[in-house]
Amino acid sequence: MKIDAIDLYEVRMSLKVKFQASTHAADELRHLLIRIRSSDGVGWGECSAPNDPYYLGETADSSWHMLETFLIPSVLGKEFSDVESFVAAYHHVKGNTFARAGLEMAVWDLFARARGVSLASMLGGTRKEIFSGVSLGMEAFDSLCDRIAQHVAEGYRRVKLKISPSHDAELFEKLRPRFPKVAFMADANSTYTLADTERLRRLDGFDLMMIEQPLAWDDLVDHAKLQKEIKTPVCLDESVKSEAQAKNALELGSCRVLNLKAGRVGGLLEAKRIHDAYVTHRIPMWCGGMHDYGIGRAANVALASLPGFTLPGDVSGSDKYFDEDLVEPPIRANNGAIEVPTGPGLGYEVIEERVRKRTARTRTFG
């Protein structure tokens, strides 16, 4: 299959509710969309890099630069027989995982559509539906309680809450009496150190599913030390950016749960390799998100259909985030579950008029 042309878009979308974490906040997103064109059809991908460099250092602007200067020129006008050969064309590009993942997502969609199969089946997915949780930012307590109650009533299977050293055990001391049966987890976004072990141990008393990424964003060793000191399972996020790091985490005992995001590890191909390694070691996984638009959300649904994703993930209905998404049919959660589409490729159709209406800049290659 020859890559004839690639269109790059910066698309801006407003969130229905401002998202506040311990390190950053956002009410408008600037994700990049990639459309690959060939004589065999069209494929869409999404680069969901954040606006700011507070997650992995990559941003929408840095991703645009990497795509237009290095990644797209590596594949434009060339012939590829499969996704593996496509990815090999830019294997020498280090880091920049969101940019790489967005480009790769588009070629997965292209190949799947050309073959008339769903992305989920092409990846090896086995689930007909995936279970969804919600991720909520920091906000006033009464407002937070209202939102928790709303999403629990909608059937979402777990609630993730942001914590920090000044906003952790005290939060759950107030929440648990109100929501004794809700499956809560805490996301620390790397705001603790080993010196906070006793503070994190206090969370053992609230029956949390896990504590996500409590320590440094690039650490594996200290997380292993922490896991030995607390009962609540440690879940890694930022610390696992490749298959090699995922295997190192296994060897060290750095986590008991893994949040797997295709954007964080450079694409669906690397995500599947990590998934397969963790299934072998019986480490439970769930699929994370980055407030993805419909294209990236559809890819997450396909990824989460793999058998190792046994815990509810962050892939919730797009109506929770946006008044209008970019794909049809709308991605909706029914009683906390999203149906895995069986149509070709991503299984959702991109509404190009909606893309154009929200495009801040665009460039065509080829």
Count other Cβ atoms within 10 Å, centred on residue 254: 25
Catalytic residue check, 228: no
DSSP 39-91: TTEEEEEEE---SSSSSSS--HHHHHHHIIIIIHHHHTT-B-SSHHHHHHTTT
CB 347 within 8 A of CB 341: yes
In the residue annotation, 225 being an active-site residue is answered as: no
Cis status of the peptide bond prior to 329, with omega within 30 of 0: yes
CA separation for the pair 283, 278 (Å, rounded)? 5
Q: What is the dihedral of CA 248, 250, 252, 257, to 10 degrees?
A: 120
- Which runs of E-coded beta strand occur in 176-233? 184-187, 211-212
Residues, the chain, total?
366
CA 261/CA 268 separation, integer angstroms: 9
Nearest to 48, CA basis, from 355, 296, 236, 268: 296
Q: Nearest-5° angle of CA 56, CA 59, CA 64?
A: 130
- Catalytic residue, from 160, 162, 241, 272: name it: 162
Residues 16, 174, 181, 261: which is the catalytic one?
A: 261
Q: Which helix (H) or strand (E) holds 159?
A: strand 159-162
| Distance between CA atoms of residues 50 and 59, nearest Å | 5
Catalytic residues: 162, 261
